[in-house]
Amino acid sequence: MERLAHCGTAGAGQVGWPLAVTLVCLLDSEQYSNTRDAAADFFLRQLKNKDWRGLALRCLAQMVTSLLVRYGQIMPRPEINKWLDKVYRGSGQKDAPCLLGAAKKGYFNHNEMAEMLSPVAELVPDYTTGLIIDLLQSDLQECQLIGLRVMHSMLLLTPTLPPQELHT
């Protein structure tokens, strides 16, 4: 993770960080499990830096999607939710970096945050419902718009019943 920090400060973050995340996502299961938390923590800390915020958000989106695709069917749901809570809600510590906290500070526009939440909405809709409620209860109009947009994308993903099954 020290190398990730060097990539960002050396001005090569736009290439270095996405490449590093891709390499982390391609690791074998044991190395991936040992590395994913440190990588997520690194990118969460980068959300405070205005210059790197968008890139850090995209890298986090790739990490979250990778975890859900890789372990979504085999990892116990409480364990997945715990990891998602760490990324989205913080680790339970006051002022811990997290995506919802950053969104409520106005760090993201609704396109960026919807990009981060859409894969989760598709892969873990039950978890995303709680995030949407948190966003809708925010005082910031931008957060409310993000919540509505993600809810809309979830509704579009919901399979519809054929007309003949609706009347039975």
Is 164 or 86 the better-scoring residue by pLDDT? 86
Note the pLDDT tens digit of each residue in 67-126. 999 988 899 999 999 999 999 888 666 666 888 888 888 888 778 887 888 888 888 888
Predicted TM-score of the model (pTM):
0.79
Rounded (10°) CA dihedral 66, 69, 70, 71:
110
Note the pLDDT tens digit of each residue in 13-47. 567 888 999 998 899 989 998 899 999 999 999 98
Extents of the domains making up the chain? 2-158
Q: Is the pLDDT confidence value at 65 over 80?
A: yes
